[in-house]
Structure 1
């Protein structure tokens, strides 16, 4: 037989003998294990984002007032456990979004009949001294104090 037409010819089998038979990149079992591990990592990340992002405190800016070039006030509502103490970082920014003032206000514990939502939400006014005229006042972040 001719080497070109016969698949069992020495030329055709010499490559298999030399390099071995072609193998699959991944077996079905390996693909399944990889899929399970990827799914577990994805689920862990989602749970971390949902649960880990919950700090037990939330804030909402109610209003701000730029009094003059040296003072800005920010009114905010802080929702937390009534027995907990929190701190909130406030900042005043100019029209270029540069910070022109910064202050940290403390939101102490309160009675269940104070504020709203059985004492969970407290309204606070924070004053920010500024270096120059601000155009806005914002809440940067709030956190619970241990």
Structure 2
């Protein structure tokens, strides 16, 4: 053994005793498995939060309306809810100054279906109005206990 290698070994031993042994790097194969595991966990989290938010959530969308006469209108709308839930929706017909000229509470009971695609259904309701309306909207929906 030469003197420089002995000096290097002594310096290395001294550094190890002071700062600890140098870290070993993670192998490329281990890095690939860690990345794959992180991707699987991220995908699982996305699926969990997407499905978790859909279950139990009540949403409504205006689809269309028809002003039949000065005293009648109909409103088409979509409601997404759990199949076994009963909800009520407030439907409004508005005039050109956004005043409510017709209103009705619609009760929507449980319906058939078991897949997540069966959560949404379309409805049409007819309303009597005080004067000619220009639009029909779903104001709000709520779940009955």
Band the TM-score falls in, shorter-chain normalisation: 0.5 to 0.7
Q: CA deviation at 1:56?
A: 2.0
Greater helix content: 2
Gaps of 5+ in 2: 1-55
* Aligned residue number for residue 63 of structure 1: 64
* Aligned residue number for residue 141 of structure 1: 140
Alignment root-mean-square deviation, CA? 1.9
1:97-127 CA distance string (max 9 Å, x none): 11100001111100106xx844211111111
- Over 3 Å off, 4+ runs: none
> What TM-score, normalized to structure 2?
0.59
Q: CA deviation at 1:128?
A: 1.4
Q: Count matched residues.
A: 91
Q: Is the 8 A contact 1:107 1:124 kept in 2?
A: no
Gaps of 5+ in 1: 1-54
Q: Is the 8 A contact 1:74 1:138 kept in 2?
A: yes
Q: Is the 8 A contact 1:89 1:140 kept in 2?
A: yes
Q: CA deviation at 1:136?
A: 0.3
Report 1:26-41 matches (<5 A).
Answer: none
Report 1:107-146 matches (<5 A).
Answer: 107-112=108-113, 117-146=116-145
The secondary structure found in structure 2 opposite 1:119 is: helix
> What TM-score, normalized to structure 1?
0.58
Distance of 1:112 and 1:130 partners within structure 2: 35
CA separation of 1:68 and 1:117: change in aligned 2, threshold 3 A: farther
* Aligned residue number for residue 81 of structure 2: 80
